[in-house]
Amino acid sequence: MAALRATRQILQTVTGHGWRSHCSKAAQNLNIGKPGAGFSFELTDEQKEFQATARKFAVEEIVPVAAQYDKTGEYPVPLIKRAWELGLMNSHIPESCGGLGLGSFEACLITEELAYGCTGVQTAIEANSLGQMPVIIAGNEHQQKKYLGRMTEEPIMCAYCVTEPGAGSDVAGIKTKAEKKGDEYVINGQKMWITNGGKANWYFLLARTDPDPKAPASKAFTGFIVEADSPGIQIGRKEMNMGQRCSDTRGIVFEDVRVPKENVLIAEGAGFKIAMGAFDKTRPPVAAGAVGLAKRALEEATKYALERKTFGKAIVEHQAVSFLLAEMAMKVELARMAYQRAAWEVDAGRRNTYYASIAKAFAGDIANQVATDAVQIFGGNGFNTEYPVEKLMRDAKIYQIYEGTAQIQRMIIAREHVGKFKAQGNV
């Protein structure tokens, strides 16, 4: 409790408001239901304060050490502790569990700023939100207080255990099985590419409970909360990835792991819907992270273009370079609007599948394009590790892969678009 009180005091000092005033009640932050309140791009004072706090933390504490964490692959424990102290992680945890209960929009504002500093650090922090989300949307009061509540007491991590060696985009292809024996389930299987896998205190795990291979995904899988120190869990080696290297990514083996029936979310067979529902809530912050990276790439490229001279003038004065910067700026601004719309839909209580996939796909694509263009503007220097943009280019690629590939997002967008078109009576 002392840690939580400290967090509240810090937020009060930073913002000048009580910490509970930052909770994202839809009617407060979205102007829903207020007469004459229409479309607006203006942030509330509270949103501006959270954004400024995250920006200050990223610039002053993340940026100076990001390159070193990238080289070593070391997990950024000091930064995670500091983010927790500042109230910049676990933002979705409801007040009833001791959290701040921020909305998706506020979480995205924070995420963009953290990603500006380093997306490896931001991913380690944001993975908590993905692991927590199934419990937030489907956990009962006891489950939420037990597993979300402990995360407000100290800076501990959790993880989302769904992907397997043979089941990434094809979630229905999951092989991990859970067999009910008395008041417990016995879990056997292997998970792969689990962010925070070796650092988590507990996992959300998706496993097959219906042995019938023809059973529909909507009934075949069950979601479990699994304590990370349960007997039978074997944590694999840390994977050294192309980018976001300080994020902890591992394979995990579950061998006769016993989980009490009290740790089932909703009921047996509800897991697939829970797992997919979590993505609607977490894809906007992923898109926001991609925007943060793209913004950093744009700023680094602009600064370099103003300093670097060729043919007697700064390269920004060459139309070829200035037009490249213009294209980069357009992409950053439009991607930001996409994630903000997707987050706004969540906070308004609407189904946001369509907008979440648009935001995730577009922001992931432009992050790669903008980072690549930044390297181009830097020329040979951009290909060198002494300059920041080569890291940005490596870090960007995963945004087209994790939490649903760019191709999966297009499948979802097409399905949602055609469905809406038909529902409007156009067919």
Our answer to whether residue 126 is catalytic in this structure is: no
Using DSSP's 3-state secondary structure scheme, residue 203 falls into strand
Q: What are the two backbone dihedrals, phi and then psi, of residue 318, each rounded to the nearest 5 degrees?
A: -85, 130
Return the SS3 of 153: coil
Q: Does residue 204 contact residue 134 with C-beta atoms inside 8 Å?
A: yes
Nearest to 73 by CA among 248, 280, 267: 248
Distance CA 426, CA 268 (A): 39
DSSP H stretches of helix in 24-140: 26-29, 45-57, 63-72, 77-85, 104-117, 119-138
- Residues with Cβ within 8 Å of residue 263, at least 6 apart in sequence: 143, 224, 225, 226
**Of 106, 300, 390, 403, catalytic:** 403
Decide the pairing of beta strands 200-208 and 184-195: unpaired
Burial letters 371-394, b for 16+ CB under 10 A, else e: bbbbbebbeeebeeeebbbbbbbb
From 19, 21, 20, 22, select the one nearest 9 (Cα to Cα). Answer: 19
Tell me the catalytic residues: 403
